[in-house]
Amino acid sequence: MNKPPRRDAGIVAAAVSAEPPVTLKLDNASMSDIAQALASGQIDATALTKTYLARIEAYDRGGPALNAVRVLNPDALGIAGKLDGTKLSAKQPLAGIPVLVKDNIATGDKQPTTAGSLALEGAHARDDATIVKLLRDAGAVILGKANLTEFSNMLAVDMPAGYSSLGGQVKNPYAPTLMDDRGIPVVPPGGSSAGSAVAVAAGLCAASVGTETSGSLLYPASQNGLVTVKPTVGLVSRAGIVPIAHSQDTAGPMTRTVRDAAILLNVLAARDPLDPVTERQRRPADYTAGLTRDAKKGARIGVPSDPADPLNDPYYGKLPPRSAKVLADAITVLEDLGAVIVRANMPTPGWIGGPGTTMAVLNRNPLSRHKGTVARPPVVFLYELKRDLDLYLRDWATNTEIRSIADIVTFNVAHAEKALRFGQDHFLAANMTRGDLSEREYKSARAMDLLSARTRGMDAYMNQHKLDAVLFPGSEGCGIAAKAGYPSVMVPAGFISGADGKDTPDYPLGITFAGRAWSEHKLLRLAYAYEQASNMRKPPPGLPGV
């Protein structure tokens, strides 16, 4: 049996050898800066946790009322106190660092695990999710649970990003204005890991953990100027996470820098007998190794946008002018770093969500502008949702009488005024499936997803052009990489403005490097070189230190 890789998270040497920052400004401090301050004695875990709690009170509960933190951990200060004076080490590379986790990630403590659902209000979990155990073992202070789009945006058609019936609406810290008529953000915070992203962007925690099935890490990271890693399915355990679809579900870090994302991924990426898919995991000993400014030299990066074939350009062809400029500037930076840019359209983007892979669902959302039309969510999501969610409720949920998706549907109907502001059309469709994945339409849809996204999509494109990575604007490429089960790394690239036909303050736009299974290390190196050369992240305005 292979020995597990040594995980010093790359943070220990940096914290010990580097000079501590003169002033620790938590509105924009990286996790590495915070680690240096802890190692040097400039601050201790208790003071650090109290400062984050003060920022949450000032900006999440008060001020712009960002609503990113759904619930605080009542034991956070006690945990921090026990870590005061603990030295960063290979065993505890996150000692004393406050971290938020999305409220679909189980904690076996006093905090509820609700997925933002009124039906699961007060529900707890029988144990920590595997990734929470890894965070605790690494010395992290679990500060609380982040708000999210309810059930990771699988409850209703056109539910606003960052809304949950239990937690309310998360706001984008760069542009927190809501539409007067509907209370929906003009600039979305991104979904479904909205709270996880906003909390990091606003300096309410050192880092966070979110989840993704298709875009739920990448979209909020782009909207909030963050780095995230959407891992290969199987790199990070899903045991104890309220699911959508096991074929694509994963969890990943949300941080302010690429190095911090690599540090946190070191902790999260571990084999777990509770999630057998992790047994095939392949990872390096340290994701921070090789993060250098010259990692781009000679790298072949595909840009799926062929000027000679403009009608087949779903990723770049419809970008607004300012977004197009952000991407053009990013590509120039990559070329200046020595990357080889290959412009060629992907062979099968039009197949994604194509024949046999989606289900017709009538949109009854009373606040949707598309009410009465037919939505087409993925077949795989709806069929796996019933099976996987029922298993979670049976095996993990405690302190609740809810034991199935059918129970949730019934509860929501009985409490429609509060629970069904945007309806539950997806859950109604999922509840009509057998729940055992025996249907031929499910098997066919899953096979088609793999054929179009992996075999004839990413694999064919990367093989044909001998690519190291594929570059997508924002989260535009999330679907093809997610269906393939392949990794993506998001990094801030610039700022844009305007949404829904309205003028807005500037807010971030990121770029995504996507690649083959288990290529996170390569993608992180490419993202790091770009990050260091471009330095495009800026914290949200108006949220100074408290």
Q: Is the pLDDT of residue 49 over 90?
A: yes
Q: How confident is the model at residue 13 (pLDDT cuts 50, 70, 90)?
A: very low
Question: What is the radius of gyration, based on Cα positions, of the chain?
Answer: 22
Pair (270, 383) in one structural domain: no
The rounded distance, in Å, linking the Cα atoms of 209 and 105 is 9
| Average pLDDT of the segment spanning 262-270 | 98
Spot the catalytic one: 208, 216, 488, 519: 216
The overall average pLDDT reported for the chain is 94
On whether both 82 and 192 belong to a single domain, the answer is yes
pLDDT tens, position by position, 502-518? 999 999 999 999 999 99
Residue of 117, 192, 368, 519 with catalytic role: 192
484 within some domain: no
Lowest mean pLDDT among 91-95, 261-265, 542-546: 542-546
Closest alpha carbon to 481 in 514, 519, 440 = 514
Banded pLDDT at 308 (limits 50, 70, 90) = confident
Domain count across the chain = 2
Q: Residue 100 is part of a domain; what is its CATH number?
A: 3.90.1300.10
Indicate whether 338 belongs to any domain: no
The verdict on residue 355 lying in a domain is: no
Half-sphere exposure for 147 (CA within 13 Å, toward CB): 29
Give the CA count within 13 Å in the CB-facing half-sphere of 74: 5
- Would 263 be classed as within a structural domain? yes
> Quick one: DSSP state of residue 178?
B
Q: How far does the chain reach from its first CA to its final CA, in angstroms?
A: 51
Which tens digit of pLDDT belongs to each residue from 88-143?
Answer: 899 999 999 999 999 999 999 999 999 999 999 999 999 999 999 999 999 999 99
Q: Please tell me the predicted confidence (pLDDT) of residue 347.
A: 81
Give the domain extent around 373.
361-446
Residue 132: inside a domain: yes
Single out the catalytic residue among 102, 145, 296, 522: 102
Q: Rounded CA gap, 243 and 237, in Å?
A: 12
Q: How far apart are alpha carbons 70 and 67 in whole angstroms? A: 7
422-438: per-residue pLDDT in tens?
999 999 999 999 999 99
DSSP 242-309: --S-TTT-EEEEEESSHHHHHHHHHHHB---TTSGGGGG----S-TTTT--TTTTTT-EEEE---TT-
Residues 134 and 28 in one domain: yes
Give 210's strand partners: 252
- Out of 393, 425, 446, a domain closes at 446
Query: What confidence score (pLDDT) does residue 26 get?
Result: 84
Return the pLDDT at 182: 78
Q: What is the mean pLDDT of residues 281-293?
A: 96
Residue 307: its pLDDT value, please? Answer: 84
Mean pLDDT, range 211-229, rounded to an integer: 98
CB burial class (10 A; 0-12, 13-18, 19+) of residue 310?
exposed
Lowest mean pLDDT among 179-183, 383-387, 529-533: 179-183
- Residue 489 backbone dihedrals phi, psi, to 5 degrees: -130, 125
Residue 236 DSSP one-character state? B
Contact criterion met (CB below 8 Å) for 461 and 467: yes
Residue 248 and residue 112 in one domain: yes
Give yes or no: residues 243 and 391 share one domain.
no
Length of the chain: 546
pLDDT in tens, 186-208: 999 999 999 999 999 999 999 99
Q: Are residues 232 and 377 both part of a single domain?
A: no
Same domain membership, residue 268 and residue 139: yes
In a domain, 513, yes or no: no
pLDDT at 6: 40
Tell me whether residue 307 is in a domain.
no
8-state DSSP, 410: H
Shared-domain flag, residues 369 and 239: no
Q: Which two tokens stand for residue 380?
A: 């795989």
Q: What average pLDDT score do residues 325-341 get?
A: 97
The pLDDT score that the predictor gives to residue 350 is 60
Whether residue 216 lies in the annotated active site: yes
Q: Judge if 61 and 174 occupy the same domain.
A: yes
Residues 6+ apart with CB under 8 A from 321: none
In a domain, 346, yes or no: no
Domain-terminating residue out of 388, 416, 446: 446
Backbone φ and ψ of 297, nearest 5° = -60, 120
Last residue of a domain, one of 390, 422, 446: 446
| Same domain, yes or no: 62 and 156 | yes
In this structure, the answer to whether residues 258 and 365 fall within a common structural domain is: no
- 104 and 250 share one domain: yes
Residues 162-170, mean pLDDT to the nearest whole number: 98
By the 10 Å C-beta count (0-12 exposed, 13-18 middle, 19+ buried), 538 is classed as middle
Q: Which tokens is 361 given?
A: 């669902």
